[in-house]
Amino acid sequence: MIKKVAKIKNINNKSLLLDDLKYWLSKSHEERVATVDYLRRQFHGSSERLQRVVRVIQRP
């Protein structure tokens, strides 16, 4: 059986922020872009492009 584990951390802790920054700076540009793309696909779905939003405003 798989147990769920959740760790609660204070996001105001500067040392945690520095640890995160060091971690991401240790990754290559390609790995960082791949991670952002992975997160984008999770949020927006598997479409190749982001949805375009257009609003037309008529001026008086």
Write the pLDDT tens digit of every residue in 14-40.
Answer: 888 898 899 999 999 999 999 998 988
Element (H, E) at 5: none
Cα gap 3→26, rounded to integer Å:
30
Virtual torsion, Cα 24, 30, 33, 38, nearest 10 deg: -100
- The string of DSSP codes covering 13-37 is -HHHHHHHHHHHHHS-HHHHHHHHH
Q: Is 45 helix (H, G, I), strand (E, B) or coil?
A: coil
Is the pLDDT assigned to residue 54 strictly greater than 70?
Answer: yes
The percentage of residues in the chain with a pLDDT greater than 70, rounded to a whole number, is 92
